[in-house]
Structure 1
Amino acid sequence: MRRHRIRSVRRLVVVLLAVVATTVSLAGCMPDPPGRIGGAGVAITGLPPTPPMGWNSWNTFGCDITEELIRRQADALVESGLRDAGYRYVVVDDCWGADHRAADGSLQADPQRFPSGMAALGRYLHARGLAFGLYSGASAQTCTQYQGTYPGSTGSRGHETQDAATFADWQVDYIKYDWCSSDSDHDDQVAAFTAMRDALRATGRPIVYSINPNSGVSGSVPGTEFDWGGVATMTRATNDITPAWSTDAGPSGYQGIIDIVDAIAPLGARVAPGSFLDPDMMVVGIGDGLTAAMDRTQMSMWAMMAAPLIAGNDLTQMSAQTLATLTSPAILALDQDERVSAGRPVDDDPEIWSRAVGDKGLVVSLTNRSDYPRTMSVSLASLGLVGDERVVGVDAWTGNEYRAARGELSMPVGVADTVVLEIR
């Protein structure tokens, strides 16, 4: 029944008939943005055109991971219904590896943390209908090794061909690849990330290639500055997220939900089928710094950006509210819409975004950044719509309907909350 409901909502979103004055060109018909690194095609072929969905160990557990912990999280992903909602990738982040390579130079699992080995973990995940994700470093060290909090020097730089073959042999489906170096030379970064892309391609296995060129780089955000769409399946456009609404850290520090939304707002043209901007993992259900409204805003805006949805909460202790937020059928349908077109601010208003969906459909989000509830409005003219009596916005979260009047759609929005309107 869950799958049927999700498919039904997805079809509804796709066939939304907005009264559009001008028809927006399909995303696939738009020219590649200038300066796209790696060429016009997708980085790795054979993958779904829509954003990946899954779970990553880092935000909740950091280095405190074991084989048994990952298996428990995977089981919870299945039992909770998240897998059937689309969350398939289980990504084991940093600290899974031994502090040295094997005698033949290959990567190996930490024998205490993962005694059965990574291939066995992959088989465990695949047997449950899940996909296997793994972390590696684009430099000589992984991030925790670079920071001095984990022993060894087992990054993949200089070992790309061997490590890619190992990943393929372990039946890995997703690689998270961090830079982690103070050397931010652009040509060096391009060479490092392209080398692993080419090595993954050579295996013939369709592996999601997720890169973060920003870790360890001071005063610059290469993921924002450059379009890596031809190099990677998904590219981190910002530094790490933290469970907060906003921070004062600036672009080179930890950022909150709204900081990341604002950083990615002008970059939507880079998004295309099989090539995504990564605003970092979900912080829904993590810690005490976020309200339920803020969780909804993250889900809403990540969907408006056509971004990967990678949860990071402890799935074994997830509240019913967190589960409901993560599995909203209408929001997931928006994120996974076949058009794969990122939204953008309306009239440069950071609180109001629109996104084209399906053939001629339209979705509008309104985020209340004030510290008090208020009525928010969006003019039909700014959306290219006409005819007050014919335009209705249906909130994807609540099902509430708002009929246009006097050339506007208006509705109440709570503090730090977001209304997502399907325009009919």
Structure 2
Amino acid sequence: MPPRLRASLPCLTAAALLALALCPAPAAAEPTATSDTPLALTPPMGWNNWAHYMCDIDEAKVVANADALVATGLAAKGYDTVTIDDCWMTKSRDADGNLVVDTDKFPHGMAWLGAYLHARKLKFGIYQDAGSLTCERYPGSGSPEGGGPDHYARDARQFASWEVDYVKMDGCNLWVPEGKTKEQAYRDAYNSVARALRDSGRDMVLSASAPAYFQQGEWGGSDWHKVIDWVGETGQLWREGRDIKVYNPAAPATSRWSSVMGNYGYNRWLGRYAGPGNWNDPDFLIAGAPGLTAAESRSQVGLWAMMAAPFILSSQVSELTPDGLAALGNTDLIALDQDPMGRQGTVVSSNATFDILVRPLANGDRAVAVLNRSGAVRDIRVPLDELGLDSCTVEAKNLWNGESRELSDTLTGTLAAHDTGVWRLTPHTGCAEAVPTGQIAGRGSGTSAACADGANTTGVGAVVMAACTGAPDQRWTLGRDSSLRLAGACLSAGEEGLVELADCSDGRQRRAAGQSWTPRRDGALVEDASGLCLTAPAPAAAPVEPGTPAERLRLTPCGDHQVDQAWALPV
């Protein structure tokens, strides 16, 4: 939804959130250019130079890649925003305070380049930094260290005069004034950036990098969660973490797979923040570029599509492999990424070998992806009831080869090493509405993820945090009655602040029994009767006995973006 509306939403009930997830939403019309126009109603698509060229960028390379987007047909399929990253300017501003284009690199200037792109029905993107210097130490838009005037408004007007459509705003070298926290300083800076762009007289999509400067591992710290929660008030998409591994021309065969998995890893838990006009961005697509196999390229495209992530290439487009180009240009995967409901897919089952993701779609279909993390060919078998489709017959379309088949019980197939299968499931008439089913993930040891587990314990009814296995003892369903169920029992408030599995109560008694739960947008799960939040146990300094109170989930007062109170739920 548009960021200007999103901030005013109240906490929703579990039933309301589930209805939002499962009810179809109409496709949005292409907006007209007004100051109140909601931008980026679907994830942006295009190209950026950084992960392939870094600072070795110039007008000829930008033009060549823009022309290649058109020639390959990728532009016509939606890859239409061409963005120049850092190092395009000189090291100092002019006497009036304006940014100066490096004319050795860009002899025709930026207004000319914007016109060139627009003439080819492409959009023009440019890089700046919210700090005083960019990451490569060119002039930034922010205040100098120690304080002083910023250049947010001036730079926004300059970009508007060049007819820029998209601004990537990095966060290096940002001054933190005395008396403010780093998180507060970034919030102030990015709000200033957003205001400057709004006041510039031209609609420009803002890609905000603020969260990336707070990332601490996969699950993150409190400030990281705070920044991700407010950044959508400023921009339409945001980088939450580390950069994708850049191409190394001296060692072009170096694998980049672990980098893809790392960026997927931190992004996969953040679906609650995504929706039309707001997108989690795990960084560039490098599918088809050196460092990924054909299967790995398919995996990146498939996983990014399931996560409603921006499809922004960073490669030499003319040198993409045929397999990579086929994956990037797959119209079914593009349609999945661009689904107008804008709901990010969720990991409903994970273990050391497989991740299974599910994504509700605008027309009532459900997309499912299975990632094979292993280095070997694997057979897969996924019962439909584990995807929330109980007693249902579906038409399952393989989005890689276009083949469809009718299924009434189990999705099966074979996946190559590091490959990801993606299917679109269309329920037949008479199917019951899908029920969100799968794991409830939260903070595990350190900053990694773990899963709420209700069976592998010695304590009767105990619910603990355990390594995610995808087993039945971690397969929860989210009821429209605000219950959280596992194996027919309900998650309940127990004695001494612990939670437990107990027989489910009916109707109005559910709240009194401590079995009514409301998910908040920040990831907290509130037990309605007490107003307390579900809290993961603190990482133990030494091993503890399974099922002991030290390992069990409990209810504690709700904090401010506490990482042990943030949960990723099935959809």
Q: Give unpaired runs (5+ residues) of structure 2.
A: 1-16, 25-34, 144-149, 247-254, 427-571
Deviations 1:37-85 (A, max 9, x none): xxxxxx9834241111000011111111111221111111111111101
- After TM superposition, list the pairs within 5 Å mapping 1:11-410 onto structure 2: 24-27=18-21, 45-145=37-137, 152-157=138-143, 158-181=150-173, 185-214=182-211, 219=216, 226-227=228-229, 228-242=231-245, 244=255, 247=258, 256-287=259-290, 289-347=291-349, 351-387=355-391, 390-404=393-407, 407-410=409-412
1:276/1:346 Cα in 2 relative to 1: closer, same or farther (>3 Å)?
same
Distance 1:52 1:314 in 2: 19
1:341/1:280 Cα in 2 relative to 1: closer, same or farther (>3 Å)?
same
Task: Specify the structure having the higher radius of gyration (Cα).
Answer: 2
Deviations 1:75-134 (A, max 9, x none): 111111111010110000000011111111011201211121111110111111000000
Deviations 1:307-360 (A, max 9, x none): 110001101223322221110010000001111110001145661000011131
Question: Which amino acid in structure 2 is aligned with residue 209 of structure 1?
Answer: L
Distance 1:44 1:174 in 2: 16
Deviations 1:175-203 (A, max 9, x none): 00110138680000001111000100112
Deviations 1:368-387 (A, max 9, x none): 11111111122211222133
Partner of 1:411: 413
1:154/1:212 Cα in 2 relative to 1: closer, same or farther (>3 Å)?
closer
Distance 1:285 1:76 in 2: 14
Aligned-partner SS, 1:121: helix
Question: Which amino acid in structure 2 is aligned with residue 26 of structure 1?
Answer: L
Distance 2:155 2:22 in 1: 33
Question: Which amino acid in structure 1 is aligned with residue 186 of structure 2?
Answer: Q
Distance 1:304 1:224 in 2: 22
Preserved CA contact (<8 Å) 1:223 1:235: no
Distance 2:213 2:337 in 1: 30
Distance 1:215 1:380 in 2: 36
1:265/1:85 Cα in 2 relative to 1: closer, same or farther (>3 Å)?
same
Partner of 2:512: none
Question: Which amino acid in structure 1 is aligned with residue 341 of structure 2?
Answer: R
What's the TM-score once normalised by structure 1's chain length?
A: 0.82
Aligned-partner SS, 2:396: strand
1:300/1:333 Cα in 2 relative to 1: closer, same or farther (>3 Å)?
same
Q: Structure 1 or 2: larger helix share?
A: 1
Preserved CA contact (<8 Å) 1:180 1:217: no
Preserved CA contact (<8 Å) 1:236 1:280: yes
Question: Which amino acid in structure 2 is aligned with residue 324 of structure 1?
Answer: A
Aligned-partner SS, 1:161: helix
Partner of 2:454: none
Deviations 1:277-300 (A, max 9, x none): 01101111222x211101011000
Question: Which amino acid in structure 1 is aligned with residue 387 of structure 2?
Answer: L
Partner of 1:3: none
- Quote the offset at 1:29 in angstroms: 8.4
Aligned-partner SS, 2:167: strand
Partner of 2:422: 420
RMSD across aligned C-alpha pairs, in angstroms?
Answer: 2.4
Question: Which amino acid in structure 1 is aligned with residue 280 of structure 2?
Answer: L
Question: Which amino acid in structure 2 is aligned with residue 172 of structure 1?
Answer: V
Distance 1:218 1:403 in 2: 43
Preserved CA contact (<8 Å) 2:298 2:420: yes
Question: Which amino acid in structure 2 is aligned with residue 187 of structure 1?
Answer: Q
- Quote the offset at 1:245 in angstroms: 5.5
- Quote the offset at 1:27 in angstroms: 4.7
Aligned residues: 373
Q: Give unpaired runs (5+ residues) of structure 1.
A: 1-22, 31-42, 146-151, 248-255
- Quote the offset at 1:393 in angstroms: 1.9
Distance 1:24 1:359 in 2: 16
Question: Which amino acid in structure 1 is aligned with residue 323 of structure 2?
Answer: Q
Preserved CA contact (<8 Å) 1:402 1:409: no
Question: Which amino acid in structure 1 is aligned with residue 425 of structure 2?
Answer: I
Aligned-partner SS, 2:292: coil
1:392/1:219 Cα in 2 relative to 1: closer, same or farther (>3 Å)?
closer
Aligned-partner SS, 1:90: strand
